[in-house]
Amino acid sequence: MTSPEEIRRRIEGALPGAEVQVADTTGAGDHFEVRVRASEFAGKTLIEQHQMIYRALGTLMPEIHALSLRTAAP
Amino acid sequence: MTDVLDDIAREVKENKVIVYMKGTPAFPMCGFSAATVAVLKEIGVPFKAVDVLAEPEKRDAIKSFSSWPTIPQVYAGGKFVGGCDIVRELHARGELAPLLRAAAER
């Protein structure tokens, strides 16, 4: 089981200054909705932006059953 | 794994629009796969669907193929388009239909 705080910590660790919102959509710790606004996304494609988040989550990814992701540059 | 990756590379090249999903377009086995197929059907381009539950050797292989950890995955014109969230976002921006139609007509 993964906590929303752990997800937030990993993303903020990889993208300092990012604005991160994490919702545990079922309360079971394996379905999440994540919104990230980060200056690092500027000039990147959506694929690249999402890959940055997947990389930040790293070892958490196999534990997360469903992840809905929205990313944007400020 | 190498053989499976070769199979995937060939499929992605030979099919103008292809989705790797859980279940089939008629019976999707995952909400994200269902949502992705719904968008493809709405746009109305012909597409091939590969059910990774029926072809389990592709379930992990497709993730390393594009360094993308989730399924579904959509490819058009031999290039990775995105997963469910990106497909929906591109569609909302009106960018997906032209991209898929250009690939389908090539």
Tell me the CATH number at B49. 3.40.30.10
The tally of domains found in chain B comes to 1
Q: How many distinct structural domains can be found in chain A?
A: 1
Q: Does B72 sit behind a cis peptide bond, omega within 30 degrees of 0 on the bond before it?
A: yes
Q: What's the pLDDT at B106?
A: 81
Query: Contact A50/B90, CB-based, under 8 Å?
Result: no
> Taking CB atoms and an 8 Å limit, are B82 and A51 in contact across chains?
no
Task: Specify the DSSP class assigned to residue A63.
Answer: G
Summarize pLDDT for A54-70 with one digit per residue, the tens. Answer: 999 999 998 898 999 99
Q: Determine the structural domain holding residue B51 and report its residue range.
A: 2-105
Q: Quote the domain boundaries for residue A55.
A: 4-72
- ipTM value > 0.90: no
Distance between CA atoms of residues B43 and B13, nearest Å: 21
Residue-by-residue pLDDT tens, chain B, 106 positions? 679 999 999 999 999 999 999 999 999 999 999 999 999 999 999 999 999 999 999 999 999 999 899 999 999 999 999 999 999 999 999 999 999 999 999 8
Residue A16, classed as helix, strand or coil, is coil
Do the Cβ atoms of A50 and B83 come within 8 Å? Answer: yes
Pick among A10, A26, A50 to test the B interface (most B CBs inside 10 A):
A50
Of the candidates B31, B67, B82, the beta carbon closest to that of A46 is on: B82
Beta strand spans in A1-74 (E): 19-24, 31-37, 66-72
pTM: 0.91
Shortest Cα–Cα distance, B71 to chain A (Å):
10
Distance from CA of A43 to the nearest CA of B (A): 16
Q: What is the DSSP secondary-structure string of B26-94?
A: SSBSSHHHHHHHHHHHHHT---EEEETTTSTHHHHHHHHHTT--SS-EEEETTEEEE-HHHHHHHHHTT
Q: For position A30, which CATH number holds? A: 3.30.300.90
* Contact at CB, B85 and A54, closer than 8 angstroms: no
Number of A to B CB contacts under 8 A, please give it.
Answer: 26
Q: Which of A23, A32, A18, A35 lies closest to A71 in space, CA to CA? A: A35
